[in-house]
């Protein structure tokens, strides 16, 4: 009986693996990425999922689920010892996601794929990204790609908050790599070192470093961390790691400061503020 069960389990695992979609030609040895090919492969895999009977869920259904306020999750325990930048990437790149919405082009007959960021919270597919990444009526379906090229459809919104611009969703599948989330404000001290791994303007898996430059409240009020690590459009929803490799914030927005505005034209760029949402708000979405 034990042998029969083992054989059945192996057969099931083989079938699951056989139907798993992966981006392969764009992810090269040594961490090299063929960026021109990557989004094309994601686009092809997304359309394959869209046409499958049990594949992707329509984004219109996900939009209706954005009203869900809380969910039950068990997060991995935060790490206590410092990691180098290289160690952080080695451990958690698999859990840093490309969040891609498939949409029909208004200028041509083709389907196109967008690229935002996110990070995995649990092994069974719960992940975090920005609310505004999901709140897009142009999307037909949404998928995620893991750092090792696994492509999976987004099937459900678990909890979301428009005010804090955070959403927890679930991707179909098991065996994902979750990243640890810091659970106390002490994990994000002013001046503490931070690292961002994101996809600015379709430049995939860009690592940048900096410090926490300020902690403040913005409209809402919402608890924010200003950081000096670089990011740009396409980085929304990306994880901000502290020195121990725990996520302390989610990338949100930039604000550019110019010296003057003449006739509606901004002149003399002086500073770009990099603003991120504290993970204290993510914990608000998870039932105690």
pLDDT tens, the chain, 288 aa long: 334 344 444 434 433 334 589 998 999 998 899 998 999 999 999 999 998 877 789 999 999 999 999 999 999 999 999 999 999 999 999 999 999 999 998 889 899 999 999 999 999 999 999 999 999 999 999 999 999 999 999 999 999 999 999 999 999 999 999 999 998 889 999 999 999 999 999 999 999 999 999 999 998 899 999 999 999 999 999 999 999 999 999 999 999 999 998 888 899 999 999 999 999 999 999 998
Query: For residue 37, what pLDDT is reported?
Result: 95
* Per-residue 3-state assignment (H helix, E strand, C coil) for the chain: CHHHHHHHHHHHHHHHHHHCEECCCCECHHHCECHHHHHHHHHHHHHHHHHCCCCCCEHHHHHHHCCCCCECCCCCCCCCCCCCHHHHHHHHHHHEEEEEEEEECCCCCCEEECCEEEEECCCCCEEEECHHHHCCCCEEEEEEECCCCEEEEEEEEEEEECCCCEEEEEECCCCCCCCCECCCHHHCCCCCEEEEEECHHHCCCEEEEEEEEEEEEECCCEEEEEECCCCCCCCCCCEEEECCCCEEEEEEEEEEEEEEEECCEEEEEEEEEEEEEECHHHHHCECC
Which distant-in-sequence residues (6+ apart) come within 8 Å of 184 by Cβ?
none
Which residue, 101, 35, 91, 34, is CA-closest to 63? Answer: 101
What is the rounded distance in angstroms from the CA atom of residue 49 to the CA atom of residue 22? 12
Which residue, 34, 56, 36, is CA-closest to 45? Answer: 56
Structure tokens at 196: 């961002």
Which residue, 163, 270, 178, is CA-closest to 217? Answer: 163
Report the top-level CATH class of 185-284: mainly beta
Distance from the Cα of residue 73 to its chain's centroid: 17
Domain 22-171 CATH assignment equals 2.40.10.10 = yes
What is the rounded distance in angstroms from the CA atom of residue 67 to the CA atom of residue 163? 12
Query: For residue 6, what pLDDT is reported?
Result: 44
Structure tokens at 67: 């009203």
Domain boundaries, the chain: 22-171, 185-284
Structure tokens at 247: 């996520």
CA distance between the termini of the chain: 42
Query: For residue 19, what pLDDT is reported?
Result: 56
Query: For residue 264, what pLDDT is reported?
Result: 85
CA atoms within 13 A on the CB side of 273: 15
185-284 matches 22-171 in CATH topology: yes
Q: Look up the pTM and report it.
A: 0.90
């Amino acid at each position: 009986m034990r042998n029969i069960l083992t054989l059945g389990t192996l057969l099931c695992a083989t079938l699951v693996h056989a139907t798993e979609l992966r981006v392969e030609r764009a992810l090269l040895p040594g961490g090299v990425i063929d960026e021109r090919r990557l989004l094309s492969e994601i686009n092809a895999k997304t359309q394959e999922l869209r046409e499958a009977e049990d594949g992707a869920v329509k984004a219109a259904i996900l939009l209706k689920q954005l009203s869900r306020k809380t969910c039950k999750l068990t997060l991995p325990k935060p790490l206590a010892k410092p990691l180098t930048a290289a160690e952080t990437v080695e451990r958690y790149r698999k859990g840093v996601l490309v969040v891609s919405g498939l949409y029909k082009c208004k200028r041509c007959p083709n389907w196109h794929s967008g690229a935002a960021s996110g990070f995995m919270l649990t092994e069974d597919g719960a992940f975090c990204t920005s609310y505004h990444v999901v709140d897009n009526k142009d999307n037909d379906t949404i998928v995620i790609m893991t750092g090792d090229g696994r492509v999976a459809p987004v099937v459900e919104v678990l909890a979301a908050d428009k005010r804090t611009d955070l959403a927890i969703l679930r991707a179909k599948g098991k065996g994902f790599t979750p990243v640890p989330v810091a659970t106390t404000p002490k994990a994000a001290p002013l001046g503490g070192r931070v690292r961002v791994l994101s996809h600015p303007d379709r430049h995939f898996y860009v690592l940048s470093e900096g410090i926490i430059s300020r902690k403040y409240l913005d409209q809402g009020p919402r608890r924010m961390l200003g950081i000096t690590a670089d990011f740009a459009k396409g980085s929304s929803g990306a994880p901000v790691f502290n020195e121990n490799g725990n996520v302390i914030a989610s990338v949100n927005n930039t604000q550019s400061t110019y010296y003057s505005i003449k006739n509606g034209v901004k002149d003399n760029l002086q500073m770009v503020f990099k603003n991120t949402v504290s993970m204290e708000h993510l914990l608000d979405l998870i039932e105690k």
